[in-house]
Amino acid sequence: MSEDNGTTHFGYKEVPKGEKKRRVAGVFSSVAAKYDVMNDLMSGGVHRLWKRFTLDRAGLRKGQRVLDLAGGTGDLAEAEARRVGPDGEVVLSDINAEMLGHGRERLVNAGLAGNIQYVQADAEHLPFPDNHFDRVTMAFGLRNVTDKEAALASIHRVLKPGGRLLVLEFSKPVLPGLKPVYDAYSFAALPFMGRLVAGDAESYRYLAESIRMHPDQKTLAGMFEAAGFTGVTWHDLTGGIVALHVGYKA
């Protein structure tokens, strides 16, 4: 979370707030081309199940308008576009141009064009009207945002009354005995795979560190509520390695 003295964390490092966005951009520009491959390797493919659970909890209907924030290469947006149908709309948004470009290419190749738009945007300052979206989803992006409180407030503004925010993010293991195993895997295996597959160990070391600096389940739920969301719940997945937080706009 951001600090009053003008600094924030980039992994375990303390950096000026303005510098974090530049550094995060560098990370994702570096890994964009191998992002999907690395997701499958790092999670053993389980990230697909986490996202399927998110989609089921989104309860999308034909004709709805969805914003997928930090949508990267578009795997969540692809499924959302199919669920809302040709009369609905999905906006795939990411702050990183390289990630968004890969997402556009992926979805065009999948034959999806008519109901998807692509917008490069900062989650802290969303360029959309008030009360515009039925759903906002964000998978594995909130921990990279410099000012999470500002992002949650911006999301709340663009949601319609009755709309729903779903944030899928790495969290704190709750299964007894899981944390030391997970830590060992994160700090040894992730940088090794990053160097081997993406030629970039440092970016994946940052990703492991950023997970540890992200708020735990209860803290994040409180941040949702402070931003104005109601009915806030979370679902621990894979022993709490990942959690899906859900909140509603009254």
Q: CA nearest 166: which of 71, 82, 83?
A: 71
Q: Is 8 annotated as a binding residue?
A: no
Residue 29: Cβ within 10 Å count: 14
CA distance 90 to 82: 10
CA 235 to mean position of chain CA atoms:
16
Q: Is 40 annotated as a binding residue?
A: no
Residue-by-residue DSSP string for 40-99: HHHHTTHHHHHHHHHHHHHT--TT-EEEEET-TT-HHHHHHHHHH-TTSEEEEEES-HHH
Q: CA nearest 107: which of 128, 132, 82, 84?
A: 82
Residue-by-residue DSSP string for 122-170: -TTS--S-TT-EEEEEEES-GGG-S-HHHHHHHHHHHEEEEEEEEEEEE
Name the strands in the sheet holding 159-170, side by side, starting at the edge strand that comes first in the sequence.
116-120, 89-94, 65-69, 133-139, 159-170, 242-248, 230-237
The CA-CA-CA angle for residues 177, 184, 45, to 5°, reads 90
Residues 6 or more apart in contact with residue 212 via CB below 8 angstroms: 12
Q: Is 122 annotated as a binding residue?
A: yes
Binding-site residues for S-adenosyl-L-methionine sit at 73, 94, 122-123
Bind-site residues: 73, 94, 122-123
